[in-house]
Structure 1
Amino acid sequence: MESVRKIFNAAMPSQSYSIYRGVEEDDEAELHMEEAPHGDQRSNPKGSRCPISPQHQKLIFIITMTALVAFLLGYVSTLSRCTRCDINDNNLLSDESYEQKDSKPIRMDWAELKKLFTGYLNNGTKIDENIRKVSAGRHPSGSQENSELASYVLDTLKGYNLDKTWVNSPFAELQFPDRTRPNTLNIVNNTNKIVAAIPIGDPDVYCPYSASATVQGGLVYVNYGRQEDFKILSTWNVNVSGSLVIIRTGLISFAEKVYNAEAAGAIGALIFPDYTETPVYGHVHFGTGDPYTPGFPSINHTQFPSFKSSGLPKIPAQPISLSSARSLLRELAGPSASESWRPADFPSHGLGPALTNPLHKVQLEVTNVRQSVELHNVFGSITGRFEPEHYIVVGAQRDSWGPGAAKSGVGTATLLELARTLSMMVRNGFRPRRSIIFVSWDGGDFGSIGATEWLEGYLSMLHLKAAAYMSLDTPVLGDENFVAKSSPLFNNLIETIIKQVDHPLQSQQSIYEYTKAKSTNWKTSVFSPLKKDTSAFTFTAFAGVPALEFSFVENSQPYKFLDTKQDTYDRLNHIMNGRLPSVALNVAEVVGLALVKLSHDHILPLEYKAYNDVLLQHFTNLPTYQEKLKSRGLTLQWLYDARGDYTRATERLKEAIQGSDLTNEKVIQFFNVRIMRVEFYFLSQYESANYSPYRHILLGRGEHTLEALMEHLSKDQKDIDDSKLRMQIALFTWTLEGAADALSGEIWEVERSF
């Protein structure tokens, strides 16, 4: 005891002092310790203490030692790691623990977080009420109904006591029908006299960003309007050039159909559904964002150069009803369409371009007009605890040309439920490492304009801030099959989540188990690439932010009423046998658990090695072009070397994570920054975002992409442009090499193999 007393006395200061602990101002606790009062210095010149009796000394010693032991035990307990923390070689991208560094520490493992999330999600849910509210009627961008919904979403988010709520209001040039001059479709004779007026169907249905023009000519049936469909027509000696085309919906977007038709020489396009009578709405800008300010944010009063997006069609396009399509197809002469090309229950008909009466032609007049509209993107956020400058964005389209139960109702309602649930979790102990941003997008029906304009406004910084984007667009189109459209970086995360969520048709069976029992290859059933006409695609291919979207779809009978006035709550719920609210909650659970892991795990759960396999799959066909390249004095060896460098860079990153101290916050953030920018590294730095907005070399569009390179190599020897080919190889090679260098870390760690 005497030795302990000596150590303690030696450690005691002669001045008062404070000890601060915690990581934030409200966590600080101050401990003041002062000496006993000094005696009168004049009577005690040496400053000696007042004499204390042995009994008092013993009592003071016992009290002080007790306080010291209690303090040390408390301090050590705040530093101890969770025994359930599972960061190991087999699961580097998962952290199964959570620790709140607060005055009252709270520790939660993944099971506790999952229980907390599902408990709050199912308790007090208003998902059914909100789906009904959002899809009560039409609410297109620029309408009073859509503005009122934006106010409702903002007020609801404010009611959840999020850290911040705000509205972003870009201006965009949208296109609407001219009410004084409706679009028309007629059959005319050689004197331009109208022989028959073909009813379009609903005058409200149109194709935003169609060219406004009047055209007339023959008519060619082109199936789905894919590139391969036009190639087949060429082998059948059916000439599309100078004629209108009639296309059925499905497989690819309206914009891609019209783009392919224009490239084939068509002068106009008619698009019809082969599964429902009513015409279907769809924009035809082969891109996203405001096509009149490509690459720039649509901010009011800003002067932009006068140019348009290259994805704007130069030909008019118009949706028509099924009955109108039947009338036109009956008029087609020429070779007969094969049975595989004919929609179900369609009688035999010709392909065109001539009509049964050679003096007749089809005339289409489109009179749509442009209008400047203020959009309203509504935001709410929860601030992260350790990496607040990095955030996970989750967004849903709010506007809809029709009632939009499937298009915007379910997504908006799910977004609100996630905001409510996560805010409740925060109030009850959960502190996400990274910030979470909830967004209700406007302008979705015009090509994800709201999302794209926001991206364009912050393009120079988003790759430094946004770790991931999760889309809630059209999340429920059925209740049978679960589909994840995503960047390859999310594959492991998706598999982890669907093993923990029940399938809506089998309460005792996970989505993973249900899918695996139905399909011999469950991965092909679940995983699919990002669709090019979605906000998720724009986040990745334009801004370099990894993105994903989940949805439940039907297998046997796809949802027929998307983008029509029949997309109502009652129809969607009827098709799903009254299970719409419960399936929407299933989606919310999948998205929410993925959101929790993305915002919570120490190391971001993004599989940065996934592109090794993607590149390998793409490169398997390259050796077939060796002779073609050799005859031109070219080689793909540099391209192979770049792929090898990228693979080695991912291996080095994995080894570095395994060998590092993952209790050190600076180390964790250092690795997370490298992981979250993987998609950004695949954006070609040699292309302008104004002219080639989708600069991603594997997912984007343009001459810099691997798809364009492979297409060029597949051409006949005489059709290959040597200069263009060299440029394509160089663009792809050096972008890939740049991605490898960036992933390797600091420049002194980069080993050039060329």
Structure 2
Amino acid sequence: MAVYNTMKPVLLNNIFASIEGKVEPDHYIIIGAQRDSWGPGAVKSGVGTALLMELARTFSNMVENGFYPRRSLLFVSWDGGEFGNVGATEWLEGYLTMLHLKAVAYFSLDQAILGDDILSVYTSPLLADLIEGALKQVEHPKHTGQSILSLVQRQGGWRNIVKPLYLNSGAYSFTAFGGVPAMQLHFTEEARSYPFVNTQLDSVGRLQELLQGRLGSVGRAVAELVGLMVLRLSHDQLLPLDVTCYSNTVQQLSSKLNQHTAQLQSRGLSPQWVFSARGDYSRAAKNLHEAIKNSDIQDERLARLYNTRIMRVEYYFLSQYVSVVETPFRHVFNGRGDHTLSALADHLSLLRSAPHLFDEARFRRQLALFTWTLQGAANALSGDVWNIDNPL
């Protein structure tokens, strides 16, 4: 095999359109889609671009008819998607320091339609609860008169379709690198996967053939789902993000650590600081809910303070203790690297499966990195420094 690639700088063109919010214009929801493809790219870029254009047109028409979102909407057509989401990633790198201050959420429309049977939602846990309300209101593209939720419930409930973000998705970098809650939807076939992605055969005709002419109805369903969730995020007085979601994830780690307490202590390792940080985060999330419940949320100043704390939760989980150059996906839950929860859990499992491979020094460092980040998130979520009562 011979490779004739040549390295040279190439200008990328990301295209932006915005609708300015009326109350919190400096907080925005981003909807994006990849614009380029190797071949015809019906699935890879065509569908996503069409959905992006229709959503932009629909929200623009709503504004012309008197609707104004509370927060700003940003519609983006990304360039360089076929080279590893370069357009989106370059933009993230350029605006990383301000994203956690302004970006509420990101919705990727890439490869949204690969079939019309099964809906999968790849998302940050913070956005997971948003999908349930949207599923109730949108008709299933293959079953006239039935909501998507009604069919999903027969398959075990709507939470079964919610899955973690994956590395090659258009949404992954926003959460794992940028600290912004992100989501990507996929409709797929139950019997077989769409085989023509990244080939010259990825055409509208073949996609229509697979869907038996239902491309329009499937596209409408996806656009309605995303549109309804964006509408809530841009309109609700308080952001509908579940800040308690990560408490359950850390609880699962605590249970695993409990099972190995004796083995860890025999090696001079204590999981107590993780338990303490988990408790602090759970209390901070619960206290924030209670404070919101007992407050006048019509007070714009107070609502903004609460929203600012809520929308920064994902950013709090970007580890400040690893290099952004060497470990770009710094998120301790959704990222990649030795600092993450998954790496810590995998290493912990060696105590039973292969104790001779367990590295005490490495595990101590992993435990420290994770604990420090979790404790920092708990402290930040608590609000003002004088409200933090855990001893140092």
Q: Classify the TM-score, shorter chain.
A: over 0.9
Counterpart among 139, 151, 159 of residue 523 in structure 1: 159
Give the Cα–Cα distance (whole angstroms) in 2 for the partners of residues 619 and 561 of structure 1.
Answer: 44
Cα deviation digits, residues 420-439 of structure 1 (max 9, x gap): 00011011111100000000
- Which one has more relative contact order, counting CA pairs under 8 Å at least 6 apart? 2
Query: How many Å separate the matches in 1 of 2:359 and 2:247?
Result: 30
* Cα offsets for 1:697-741 (capped at 9, x unmatched): 011011111111122223333323322221111110010000000
| Structure 1 residue 371 corresponds to structure 2 residue 8 | yes
Distance (Å, rounded) in 2 between the aligned partners of 1:698 and 1:494: 21
For residues 273-292 of structure 1, the aligned pairs below 5 Å read none
- Give the Cα–Cα distance (whole angstroms) in 1 for the partners of residues 349 and 178 of structure 2: 30
Per-residue CA deviation, residues 85-133 of structure 1 (Å, 9 max, x unaligned), is xxxxxxxxxxxxxxxxxxxxxxxxxxxxxxxxxxxxxxxxxxxxxxxxx
Measured after TM superposition, the shift of residue 753 of structure 1 is 5.4
Q: Note the C-alpha offset of 1:521.
A: 4.2
Specify the alignment match of 1:388 in structure 2.
25
What corresponds to 1:139 in structure 2? none
SS of 1:490's equivalent in the other structure is helix
So what's the TM-score if we normalise by structure 1? Answer: 0.51
Q: Which of 434, 438, 460 lines up with 2:97 in the alignment?
A: 460
**Residue in structure 2 matching 1:550, options 174, 185, 198:** 185
Partner of 1:552: helix, strand, or coil?
strand
Equivalent position SS for 1:620: helix
Q: Distance in 1 between matches of 2:255 and 2:172?
A: 25
8 Å contact from structure 2 (residues 169, 184) kept in 1: no
CA displacement, residues 516-562 of structure 1 (integer Å, 9 cap, x when unaligned): 12x134421x1111111123110000010000011211111111111
Asked if 1:723 is matched to 2:361, the reply is yes
Structure having the higher helix fraction is 2
**1:752–1:442 Cα change, 3 Å:** same
Q: 2:133 aligns with which of 493, 496, 504?
A: 496
Output the aligned Cα RMSD: 1.3
The reply on whether 1:699 has 2:337 as its aligned counterpart is: no
How far residue 627 of structure 1 moved from its aligned partner, in angstroms, is: 2.8
The answer on 1:649 being equivalent to 2:284 is yes
TM-score w.r.t. the length of structure 2 is 0.97
8 Å CA contact 1:447–1:534 kept in 2: the answer is no
- Residue equivalent to 1:563: 198
The residue number in structure 1 matching 2:35 is: 398
Secondary structure of the structure 1 residue equivalent to 2:171? helix
2:87 alignment counterpart: 450
In structure 2, distance between residues paired with 1:710 and 1:607: 24
Aligned equivalents of 1:508, 1:417: Cα separation in 2 = 23
Q: Cα deviation per residue 1:661-697 (whole Å; 9 max; x = unaligned)?
A: 1111111110000000110011101111111100000
The residue correspondences of 1:322-471 to structure 2 (distance < 5 A) are 365-471=2-108
Structure 2: distance between partners of 1:370 and 1:580: 38
Question: In structure 1, how many angstroms separate the alpha carbons of the residues matched to 2:50 and 2:94?
Answer: 27
Aligned twin of 2:120 = 483
Q: Give the Cα separation in 2 of the matches to 1:366 and 1:643.
A: 51
- Percent identity, aligned pairs only, is 52
CA distance in 2, matches of 1:476, 1:665: 40
Three-state SS of the structure 2 residue aligned to 1:514 is: helix
- Superposed displacement of residue 371, structure 1: 2.7
- Which of 319, 326, 332 lines up with 1:684 in the alignment? 319
In the comparison of the two structures, how many residue pairs are matched?
Answer: 389
Query: In structure 2, what is the Cα distance between the partners aligned to 1:369 and 1:723?
Result: 43
Q: Which residue of 2 aligns with 1:744?
A: 382
Residue in structure 1 matching 2:305, options 633, 655, 670 = 670
1:579 and 1:385 map into 2 onto residues whose CA distance is 37
Show structure 1 runs of 4+ deviating over 6 A. none
Aligned to 2:256: 621
Cα distance in structure 2, aligned partners of 1:621 and 1:723:
19
* Cα pair 1:452 1:535 within 8 Å, conserved: no
Runs of 5+ consecutive residues of structure 1 not aligned to the other structure: 1-183, 185-364
Secondary structure, counterpart of 1:369 in structure 2: coil
Q: How does 1:187-202 map to 2 (within 5 A)?
A: none
- Contact 1:645–1:753 (Cα < 8 Å) also in 2: no
- For 1:37-76, what aligned pairs fall within 5 Å after superposition? none
Contact preservation (8 Å) 1:490, 1:607? yes
Q: Aligned AA for 2:366?
A: Q
Structure 2 residue matching 1:508: 3-state secondary structure = coil
Preserved CA contact (<8 Å) 2:338 2:344: yes
Partner-residue secondary structure (3-state), 1:392: strand
Question: Is 1:734–2:366 an aligned residue pair?
Answer: no
- Name the amino acid aligned to 2:249: V
Matched AA of 1:452: T
Contact 1:486 1:528 in 2 (8 A): yes
Q: Structure 2 matches for 1:5-44, cutoff 5 A?
A: none
Alpha-carbon distance in structure 2 between the residues aligned to 1:617 and 1:712: 15
The answer to whether 1:473 aligns with 2:101 is no
Deviation at 1:620, TM superposition (A): 2.7
Q: Distance in 2 between matches of 1:609 and 1:374?
A: 42
SS in 1 for 2:7: strand
2: distance between equivalents of 1:624 and 1:663? 47
The structural deviation recorded for 1:367 is 4.2
Larger radius of gyration: 1
Query: Is the aligned partner of 1:635 residue 2:270?
Result: yes
Partner of 1:103: none
Match of 1:147 in 2: none
Task: Provide the secondary structure at the position in 2 that maps to 1:502.
Answer: coil
**1:195-232 superposed Cα distances (whole Å, 9 cap, x missing partner):** xxxxxxxxxxxxxxxxxxxxxxxxxxxxxxxxxxxxxx
C-alpha distance in 1, partners of 2:376/2:210? 49
SS, match of residue 29 in structure 2: strand
